[in-house]
Amino acid sequence: MLIKINLFACRILFLIALLANVACASSPIADAFETKSAEEDRSIFNAPAVTPKFKVETVATNLEVVWSIVFAPDGRTFFTERPGRLRVIENGKLRSETLAVISEVEPSGESGLMGMALHPQFASNHFLYLAYAYQKNGNQHVKVVRYRETGTELIDAKTIVEMIPAARFHAGTRLKFSPDGKLYITTGDATKQSQGQKLETLGGKTLRLNDDGTVPADNPFVNQKGARPEIWTYGHRNAQGMDFQPETGLMFQTEHGPSLIDGVSLFKRSGGDEVNIVERGKNYGWAKISHKTKREGMETPIVEYSPAVAPASGMFYRGNLFPEFKGNFFFGALKGEAIIRLVFEGRKVVSQERLLVKTYGRIREIAEAPDGSIYFSTSNRDGRGDASREDDRILRIVPTD
Ligand SMILES: [Ca+2]
């Protein structure tokens, strides 16, 4: 009973914070608990030795919450807008007509049309994957659907996985093909804190599937009674960034840490955003532990951010346009209003810096173009930002002449 009352009180607090348009971690209540972590965060990391000179160019304007950007081998750029639109940039120009509008999308809160991935053999099979929230039986869920892209529309919709628990908040969902050709999917805890530790549900997990939606025989829980075989890792709260380190193949994820709704009620603090190395079968702690807390059988993040920065994406830089960035990990920060650059040596973080701080507002997606320039999107029209006349935008980082 006590837990129910606490949860109810926290939801009310959360709603008040939202209505006041105040990001959770910036409340006085939350900040009072964050001092120690924030000091640790600053003292551990040095800035990278070299930051290359760059400039920012505008690619497209007047968009709405650009969630995912991918580059097709034929030179086109696809991107999703959260309300349900799939759009195209071609020959450097935004195509005015949408490639597709996904009418089933339920775009409330933080969810809607989210992750996108192209099949590794897209050039020959034209398979494009989308993750989006939808309503079924009065509840919100997320599904991943595979389509065939014709140049002017999406056809042959095939559901890859569905009925992933979702909610207005903490609904995931990032998609990425690994170097070994499997499709990985991050899912949120749908604001139900117990989901992450339960292997019988798909909420709060990383999933791993074959390209047609079947379950790989070597997934960690395929032979465990009661466990969903799609699960690769568990104990996640809401991971929205994912990429594979080029030299090691290790999967890195960014994950939103506890906010007012669950952070203060469970752990007496908010913040606690995470960067994790995500490995087969492991437990990433939510909602048993958070921040840098250690517990037997659970993983502690390799980097923590308190106060929260709200990491929304994740990308290793592989290109040649910026040799100084090669192998570095980048993510867009919504609340942090920056691009955060991390330098790793294998599993160890050695330095980090924040780029474009408070220059473009909330930053969501980041993606490397085939020419080595770095695309990123603003998310100032998501209900929590101050939108400029041009927002939302896709911008790109290129070297100065
Ligand atoms: Ca964790």
pLDDT at 190: 87
Phi first, then psi, for residue 387 (nearest 5°) are -80, 135
Asked whether residue 35 carries a pLDDT value surpassing 50, the answer given is no
- pTM of structure: 0.89
Q: How many angstroms does the Cα of residue 251 sit away from the middle of ligand 1?
A: 15
**C-alpha–C-alpha distance, residues 209 and 191, integer Å:** 24
Q: How many angstroms does the Cα of residue 138 sit away from the middle of ligand 1?
A: 30
Closest by CA position to 158, among listed 140, 146, 144: 146
Are 295 and 285 contacting, i.e. CB atoms less than 8 angstroms apart? Answer: yes
Looking at every residue in the chain, the average pLDDT score rounds to 89
Q: How many angstroms does the Cα of residue 258 sit away from the middle of ligand 1?
A: 10
- Report angle CA 130, 132, 138 to the nearest 5 degrees: 150
- Token pair, residue 146, equals 């595979």
Q: Note the pLDDT tens digit of each residue in 123-151.
A: 999 999 999 999 998 899 999 999 999 99
On the 0-12 / 13-18 / 19+ scale of CB atoms within 10 A, 327 is: middle
Q: How many angstroms does the Cα of residue 346 sit away from the middle of ligand 1?
A: 20
Q: What is the 3-state secondary structure (H, E, C) of the chain?
A: CHHHHHHHHHHHHHHHHHHCCCCHHHCHHHHCCCHHHHHHHHHHCECCCCCCCEEEEEEECCCCCEEEEEECCCCCEEEEECCCEEEEEECCEECCCCCEECCCCCCCCCCCEEEEEECCCHHHHCEEEEEEEEEECCEEEEEEEEEEECCCCEEEEEEEEEEEECCCCCCCCCEEECCCCCEEEECCCCCCCCHHHCCCCCCCEEEEECCCCCCCCCCCCCCCCCCCCCEEEECCCCEEEEEECCCCCCEEEEECCCCHHHHHHHHCCCCCEEEEEECCCCECCCCCCCCCCCCCCCCCCCEEECCCCCECCCEECCCCCCHHHCCCEEEEECCCCEEEEEEEECCEEEEEEEECCCCCCCEEEEEECCCCCEEEEECCCCCCCCCCCCCCCEEEEEECC
Q: How many CA atoms lie within 13 A of 31 on its CB side?
A: 5
**C-alpha–C-alpha distance, residues 186 and 134, integer Å:** 17
Q: How many angstroms does the Cα of residue 133 sit away from the middle of ligand 1?
A: 24
Q: How many angstroms does the Cα of residue 153 sit away from the middle of ligand 1?
A: 39
Asked whether residue 105 carries a pLDDT value surpassing 80, the answer given is yes
Q: Note the pLDDT tens digit of each residue in 312-335.
A: 999 999 999 999 999 999 999 999
pLDDT band at 32 (very low <50, low <70, confident <90, very high): very low
Asked whether residue 34 carries a pLDDT value surpassing 90, the answer given is no
Listed by start position, the domains of the chain span: 24-399
Q: How many angstroms does the Cα of residue 318 sit away from the middle of ligand 1?
A: 27
Q: Note the pLDDT tens digit of each residue in 53-101.
A: 999 999 999 999 999 999 999 999 999 999 999 999 999 999 999 999 9
pLDDT band at 198 (very low <50, low <70, confident <90, very high): very high
Phi first, then psi, for residue 115 (nearest 5°) are -70, 155
Instruction: For domain 24-399, give the CATH number.
Output: 2.120.10.30
Say what percent of the chain tops pLDDT 70.
88
Q: How many angstroms does the Cα of residue 25 sit away from the middle of ligand 1?
A: 17
- Token pair, residue 31, equals 């900040």
pLDDT band at 264 (very low <50, low <70, confident <90, very high): low
pLDDT at 64: 97
Q: How many angstroms does the Cα of residue 178 sit away from the middle of ligand 1?
A: 22
Q: How many angstroms does the Cα of residue 174 sit away from the middle of ligand 1?
A: 17
Q: How many angstroms does the Cα of residue 227 sit away from the middle of ligand 1?
A: 20
- Token pair, residue 176, equals 């990425």
Q: How many angstroms does the Cα of residue 285 sit away from the middle of ligand 1?
A: 5
Q: How many angstroms does the Cα of residue 228 sit away from the middle of ligand 1?
A: 20
Q: How many angstroms does the Cα of residue 278 sit away from the middle of ligand 1?
A: 10
Asked whether residue 27 carries a pLDDT value surpassing 60, the answer given is no
Q: What is the mean pLDDT of residues 236-263?
A: 92
pLDDT at 168: 78
pLDDT band at 3 (very low <50, low <70, confident <90, very high): very low
pLDDT at 208: 98
Q: Which residues share a beta bridge with 177?
A: 183
Q: How many angstroms does the Cα of residue 62 sit away from the middle of ligand 1?
A: 35
Q: How many angstroms does the Cα of residue 257 sit away from the middle of ligand 1?
A: 8
Q: How many angstroms does the Cα of residue 394 sit away from the middle of ligand 1?
A: 30
Asked whether residue 29 carries a pLDDT value surpassing 50, the answer given is no
Which of 40-44, 108-112, 224-228, 295-299 is predicted least confidently?
A: 40-44
Q: How many angstroms does the Cα of residue 341 sit away from the middle of ligand 1?
A: 20
Q: How many angstroms does the Cα of residue 266 sit away from the middle of ligand 1?
A: 14
Are 220 and 232 contacting, i.e. CB atoms less than 8 angstroms apart? Answer: yes
pLDDT at 263: 64
- Token pair, residue 64, equals 């709405």
